[in-house]
Chain A
Amino acid sequence: MTKRIIISAMAAIATCVFSQPAWAEIGRVRSLVGEVKIIRDGRPITAASGVKLEQGDVISTGRNGRVGITFLDNSRAALGPGTEVALDEFTYDRARQTGSFVTRVNRGSLGVVSGNIARSRQDAMRVRTPTSTLGVRGTRFVVEVK
């Protein structure tokens, strides 16, 4: 009986893991200067040009840090000095070029050129700040959080 419960639990966990493609690449670090940190599942990973980013990653820059990122839907982002941005949600159907994209700016400055997700549906791309939610309907903008 116990064994059966364990097997059921393992099957449930496996289903959960495989139905969540959260490990998939959503974008890449393309340029960086100064101090840049990436936290994935609570642990730091090395920040370098070409590093693949995943849903849930939190990226931060130091006082002199800057980082430029490209995403699968052709959107692009730049983080200025003293910034922390969380890539909370990114789902994208490459064939249909639709999806949803939610970032959270905890502090600092985020410059964005939006891509296919913002075009696919009203407010499919959103940016959250500590007090507000922004619906992105295109295309170039800057969010600053003090």
Chain B
Amino acid sequence: MVRRIATAALVLALGACATTDRVTLLEGEAGHPVGAIAVLGKDGTETVLDAPRMQALLGSETARVRTVDKLDAAIGPLMDSLPLPPASFTITFPNAGARIPGDQMQVLEKIRTELARRPGAQIEVAGFTDSTGTEESNNELSRQRALAITQELRDSGFEIADEDAVGRGEYEARAALGDNVADESYRRVDVIIR
């Protein structure tokens, strides 16, 4: 009888642990690395979680760390209610041009299909150029490319905010390859659907 009461008390005490604030690191998504979470102490110390199912119990004192064998049943449904990951599409352009090439229309079709699956999504349209030509002309060219795609999608009835249609110029190409390098992978528009 005494043993039974002691067991019940232990179960209650363990149960009480679950009522503490806590953070749990999970497996990375679809093959992505696990990453890490640091509990930052007021005195500059940090307690780092860097493996899946590591959990820190949070309190006013130092965080207590453990690894749990099994995740709490509520975590599955919570993570299942995350929105879909963003979908990204690339439309390529000819050198110095902002007219959408005919063979890229199929990418636009895929974008329309994806948008139909995600009503109310934010649509970001970002134009780029390679690093040949002047910075000013590339800013303008990248903007024209972004506007061409934006207009196509708006004509199909999709809503794109003005601030979501942007020209990024040659910044990315120059950072990666240096100035005045021709590279078709930067003559493009990225459409990101979130």
Binding site for B on A (CB under 8 A): 24-25, 27-31, 33, 48-52, 66-72, 74, 76-78, 80, 94-95, 109, 111, 113-114, 118, 123, 126-127, 129-146
Residue of A nearest to B59 (CB): A131
Encoded as 1 (CB less than 8 Å from any A CB) or 0, chain B from 71 to 88 comes to 010110111011111100
A35 vs chain B, min Cβ distance (A):
14
List 22 A-B residue pairs with CB atoms under 8 Å apart, sorted by A's residue number. Answer: A24-B163, A48-B120, A50-B120, A50-B121, A69-B83, A76-B85, A80-B77, A94-B126, A111-B78, A111-B81, A129-B23, A131-B21, A132-B58, A132-B63, A134-B40, A137-B38, A138-B36, A141-B23, A141-B24, A143-B22, A144-B72, A146-B20
Interface of B is mostly: loop
* CA–CA, A129 and B63, complex, Å: 13
Residues A113 and B81 in contact, CB atoms below 8 Å apart: no
* CA–CA, A69 and B122, complex, Å: 11
How many A-B residue pairs have C-beta atoms within 8 angstroms? Tell me. 155
Q: Does B91 contact A (CB under 8 A)?
A: no
Binding site for A on B (CB under 8 A): 19-29, 32-40, 46, 58-60, 63, 72, 74-75, 77-79, 81-86, 118-122, 124, 126, 161, 163, 166, 168, 171, 192, 194
Cross-chain contact of B23 among A52, A72, A76, A142 (Cβ < 8 A) = A142
Residues A80 and B58 in contact, CB atoms below 8 Å apart: no
Residues B83 and A31 in contact, CB atoms below 8 Å apart: yes
What residues of chain B lie closer than 8 Å to A95, measured between beta carbons? 166, 168, 171
Residue of A nearest to B35 (CB): A138
B21 vs chain A, min Cβ distance (A):
5
Residues A111 and B79 in contact, CB atoms below 8 Å apart: yes
What residues of chain B lie closer than 8 Å to A138, measured between beta carbons? 28, 32-36
What residues of chain A lie closer than 8 Å to B126, measured between beta carbons? 94
What residues of chain A lie closer than 8 Å to B22, measured between beta carbons? 143-144
Cross-chain contact of B121 among A28, A69, A144 (Cβ < 8 A) = A28
A67 vs chain B, min Cβ distance (A):
8
B125 vs chain A, min Cβ distance (A):
12
A123 vs chain B, min Cβ distance (A):
7
Name 17 extra pairs, CB < 8 A, besides A67-B81, A109-B74: A25-B122, A28-B121, A74-B192, A95-B166, A95-B168, A111-B75, A111-B81, A113-B82, A129-B21, A130-B21, A133-B39, A138-B35, A139-B33, A140-B25, A140-B26, A140-B29, A141-B26
* CA–CA, A137 and B27, complex, Å: 13
Q: A74 with B86: in contact, given A140-B26, A142-B26 (CB under 8 Å)?
A: yes
* CA–CA, A121 and B83, complex, Å: 25
Residues B121 and A30 in contact, CB atoms below 8 Å apart: yes
Q: A114 with B86: in contact, given A28-B194, A68-B81, A139-B28 (CB under 8 Å)?
A: no
Residue of A nearest to B28 (CB): A139
* CA–CA, A29 and B24, complex, Å: 24
* CA–CA, A143 and B63, complex, Å: 14
Residues B21 and A145 in contact, CB atoms below 8 Å apart: yes
What residues of chain A lie closer than 8 Å to B39, measured between beta carbons? 132-135
Cross-chain contact of A50 among B23, B119, B163, B192 (Cβ < 8 A) = B119
Residues A78 and B78 in contact, CB atoms below 8 Å apart: yes
